Amino acid sequence: MTTLFDIPWHFPAGLLIGFAAAAPLGPVNLIVLRRALSGGSRPALGIGLGAALGDALFATVAAFGLGALASLMDAHVVPLRFIGGTAMLLFAVLLWRTHPHLDAPDAKPIPARRVALAVLAMTITNPATLLFFASAVAAVGVENLGHASFAARLNSGLLVAGAFAGSMLWWGVVCLIARQLRGRLTDHHLLLINHAAAALLALFGLAALGSAMQAAGWI
């Protein structure tokens, strides 16, 4: 049985899970790093907020045991992969066509709010993220989650808050890394990073679409 003394440990457990979910190199990391290099920490953190909200949603599913939503996502895994893959490809095209500058804003910058929404869509349309959160919650061994009692609801809320905070903590780390690199880069370096990020995003998108077609039995 979980006591009040045990409840605060759900927040640091969520913090670790959220940090671990955001840290692996992937399309969102590339987007946030690129924006931090060209536009500064504030818009980059705004974009990271979109990913953190997606992580918090999955943490909610894992902590509160929303089996119906999990089943719904599992039943629609193919269209979700198609949506996520298409979003990555479209964003890769937009990213490739931008021409960032270190000392001035892009000529036609993609608004951070729009990018944050795209990042949120990428996050919540990735069923693997839900699997990660479900597995991570089980792995850290936190108990008395769900909505059966006040303590369980509080535990779950603390876990979700920790996951959101952990994800945002990682995006802060990315911004700090970008700040250290910024003075050593030229516009040409930034353009190369931009193109590399766009190419990797396109590869992620193609992989997602290929996975969707395979799941659908088309290939």
Any domain includes 2? no
Any domain includes 138? yes
Structure tokens at 162: 């920790």
Any domain includes 66? yes
- 38 pLDDT band, cuts 50/70/90, is confident
Pairwise CA distance, residues 135 & 208, whole Å: 21
Confidence (pLDDT) at 49: 93
CA 128 to chain centre: 12
Range of the domain at 52: 7-215
- Residues in contact with 176: Cβ distance below 8 Å, sequence separation at least 6, in sequence order: none
Which phi-psi region, left, alpha or beta, contains residue 21 (left: φ > 0; alpha: ψ -120 to 50)? alpha
* Single pTM value for the model: 0.68
Structure tokens at 80: 């979700």
Any domain includes 1? no
User: Which residue type occupies 215?
Assistant: A
pLDDT by residue (tens digit) across 123-152? 887 777 777 787 777 666 666 777 777 888
Any domain includes 128? yes
Any domain includes 119? yes
Please state the domain count of the chain.
1
pLDDT by residue (tens digit) across 88-104? 788 788 778 877 665 54
Any domain includes 203? yes
Which phi-psi region, left, alpha or beta, contains residue 65 (left: φ > 0; alpha: ψ -120 to 50)? left
